[in-house]
Every structure is written in C-alpha cells, then in structure tokens.
Structure 1
C-alpha cells in the first residue's frame, strides 16, 4: 500500500476514533452516578469500535495464539503501541489495567477511567503511592478481575526488548499470584508515536503461565523472553 493511501485511511481512522472516544467518555461520565455497569458498557463499546475501525479503515486483522482466561491473575503484556491498551476491554470483561497517573488528568476520560477501575501508577509517589496501588490491585483480584501490566513502562518499537521496570518485581512479590505473559507485535502495523498506520496482522501470543513465588531474577527473565516471543530472535541478545 502506498503512503498516500495509508495516510488517507489513517485520517479516517483518527476522525472516527476521536468522535467515538468523545461519545464514550461523555457516556461513561454521565453513567457515573447512575450505574457502574453503565460505565463498563461505554468502555467496552469504545474498545469494540476501535477494533472495527482498525479492521475496516486500516485493514488490520487480529490473531490470538493461545487462551487468555478471564481470571484474577497478573497479565504482563508487551507494549509496542496504544493498540493493546485500547484492546483490553475486548480481551477481558472488566480488566484492572495499571495506567500512568497523568492519564487520569485528561478531562472527562480521566474521570471515566478512574470510575471504571483503572489503577493509577505514580512513579514518583514513593511508598504511599505504592501502598495505594497495591491496595487497588488486591481489591480488583478479590472482585475476580485480571490485572494487566505493561512492565516495560512505555511503548517500545518492534524488535526492541528493554529490561522490565522494577514495578513488575514488586507487584509479583507482594501479590503472590501467577503471571501470564502476552507477546504482541502491534508496532509493525500500529507504530508508536506515528499518525500513519498500516494494514497487516496483529498477533497476540500467550506464553506459559509463570507460577508465584519464583526468585525475582527468574520471574523477570521468563516474562521478558515470553513477551518478546514475536520479536526477531536476536532482539533479546542485542538488548542485554
């Protein structure tokens, strides 16, 4: 596909996604004093619309290799673009996603996100912020919700495999729950920090469940290998 065609399709995508995001955010906020389920409904509609726009405006298809059970465990996703963040309500009924604190300051969207049950990550908040994050995570698990963490901390171009941020080890040790790693290659068709997106196949590959209680180094190494399973074979070697 030529760049001009990809640009045109991307413009249509962003217009449609912006309009749908506005409608869903407003709907989610209106539902705040009425029904928690109403907010969940609007968030899911937002994610469904995003998938439809990706499929029919950008020409992207989604493949899932393996099973992602909707159970209270810690999912660790590869983070190559915004694609997999928007996808979470499509993958799980009501996921508790760890999200950067600054996202909650976005007008309207931030209010809906907080009420929905996203977990703020304040990296500069010290022990108090960590305790609040841990409490929110435990409450989500008690409600039967899966936790979703992007352990690299930021979007990573496809083919790169940085070390995991320290937050993963803390959550893994303190929560004492199994981890399910998920590799994603969204950066090829949905490159980060670029307006133009491309047609192609975006794959989720679910790795082997990692039990609770492993030494930190072993748990981090196993997660890192699993979430980079769709990267070129040399990616891990180059980043060590």
Structure 2
C-alpha cells in the first residue's frame, strides 16, 4: 500500500508542480507578492498531499520566532526542503546552484529568492554565499540553510559545512537550530511511509560567536532528534 500511495503521490505532485511553476513565472510579471503567494500555495499543496495521501502528520516542539533570523535545519529528506516555504516566513533558502539554474523551476526560485551554492566551487562558493547572505540581511528576509550541505541518512551526524559559519557571519543574524526527523517517513528512494514528522525548535543562539562555538551548539541542536 505504501508503494501504491507513493506512486500516486508522484503522479499527482510533479505534474501539478509544473503548473505551479508556470503560474508563478506568469504572475511574477505582475509583482513579487502574487508570485510568492503561488510559491507558498505549492508548498501548502505538498503538505496537503503528504498528509491526506501518504498519511504524514506534523508536530512542533517549541515555537518558531519571528523576525530576521538564520534557521539551521537538519536535512534528511526532500520533505523539509519543500516544507520550509510553508513553515518559515517567506524565507530565502540556501540550495544547490544546479537546482536554481534549472529551466522554469530554477527561474522561479531565483525570482522568489534563493542563495545558490556550487558545492564544487570552493572559495568562489563561499564568496557567493556571503554575498547572498548580506543581500538577504539588507532585505531583512529570513534565511534557511541545511548546514550539513546535503541529505543525510537517519542516525548520521556529519560535521557542518564551512558555509554555515560564513553565512552566520555575513547575515549577522541570530541562529535558530531546528531538528527534524522526516527521514523516518521519507527516506531516499521511492517509497514514503505514514507517520509523524517532528520539528524541534532549539534555543535561539545570538550572533557574533566564534566558529567552533556556533558550530558545536548548532550541531548538537539539529541532531537532538537522532536515535
């Protein structure tokens, strides 16, 4: 049954995603507000399907604060990559540069606001990340980063990538670490499972800390749900 539901999810979600992307690009010619509304509608549609078709529920431990903040989120699955647009407040998301340059989808992400990072670009990638962080701070937009750099299997706790500390300095924002265990229901591969996704909001960490301290505190907080 999980396989059937997962197949049905893909058959519905991806074609409808294309419609949302085309609609978002069209209304972006009118203004940012309607374009962002379409993007958020897509994330809400994703939540509707995961809840009613797959059977995934959510629970939150702690409240997400408002204001210009840097959210450091555990990354186990595609689930949180889409859900961040619904859970946070019009965030700028740090994402793989290749995704932000895809036809249509990538164009829409750029208009919405993303920081594209080429993982193989070394110092150039860090410079682009810093520039993107400063631009986001100038607009007082919330920023979301997956500080491990890529999806990791449940139970693994890799070191944070150096780009996180660079973005932390560039924005000058406090950091809110967020642990999520979506990999338990949404592992790599086709089959998704019903269950509960927990978001645990960590204590807000002030700006200005040295790299070893901020990385240690964030690493511990985003892995708080690991089993």
Counterpart in the other structure of 2:141: 145
Counterpart in the other structure of 2:155: 159
**TM-score normalised by the chain length of structure 1:** 0.90
Q: Is the 8 A contact 2:56 2:197 kept in 1?
A: yes
Counterpart in the other structure of 2:225: 230
Cα distance change on mapping 1:203 and 1:76 into 2, 3 Å: same
Q: 1:36 aligns with which of 32, 37, 55?
A: 32
Output the CA distance in 2 between the equivalents of 1:84 and 1:70: 19
Output the CA distance in 1 between the equivalents of 2:147 and 2:78: 14
CA deviation vs aligned residue, 1:177-202 (integer Å, no higher than 9, x gap): 211100000000011x2110000000
Cα distance change on mapping 1:96 and 1:198 into 2, 3 Å: same
Q: Tell me the CA shift for residue 217 of structure 1.
A: 1.0
Give the CA RMSD over aligned residues. 1.4
Q: Tell me the CA shift for residue 214 of structure 1.
A: 1.6
* 2:193 is the counterpart of 1:215: no
Q: 1:83 aligns with which of 79, 92, 107?
A: 79
**TM-score normalised by the chain length of structure 2:** 0.95
Q: Is the 8 A contact 2:177 2:221 kept in 1?
A: yes
Output the CA distance in 2 between the equivalents of 1:128 and 1:219: 23
Q: Tell me the CA shift for residue 88 of structure 1.
A: 1.3
CA deviation vs aligned residue, 1:89-119 (integer Å, no higher than 9, x gap): 2112310100110002322101000000011
Of the structure 1 ranges 117-126 and 45-54, higher mean CA displacement relative to structure 2 is found in: 117-126
Q: Is the 8 A contact 1:79 1:184 kept in 2?
A: yes
Which sections of structure 1, spanning at least 5 residues, go unmatched? 233-240
Q: Tell me the CA shift for residue 32 of structure 1.
A: 2.5
Q: Is the 8 A contact 2:126 2:163 kept in 1?
A: no
Counterpart in the other structure of 1:237: none
Counterpart in the other structure of 1:118: 114
Q: Tell me the CA shift for residue 62 of structure 1.
A: 0.6
The 5 A counterparts of 1:151-190 are: 151-190=147-186
Of the structure 1 ranges 163-172 and 47-56, higher mean CA displacement relative to structure 2 is found in: 163-172
Q: Is the 8 A contact 1:78 1:182 kept in 2?
A: yes
Q: Is the 8 A contact 2:131 2:170 kept in 1?
A: no
Q: Tell me the CA shift for residue 167 of structure 1.
A: 0.6
Which sections of structure 2, spanning at least 5 residues, go unmatched? none
* 2:195 is the counterpart of 1:200: yes
* 2:67 is the counterpart of 1:71: yes
Counterpart in the other structure of 2:18: 22
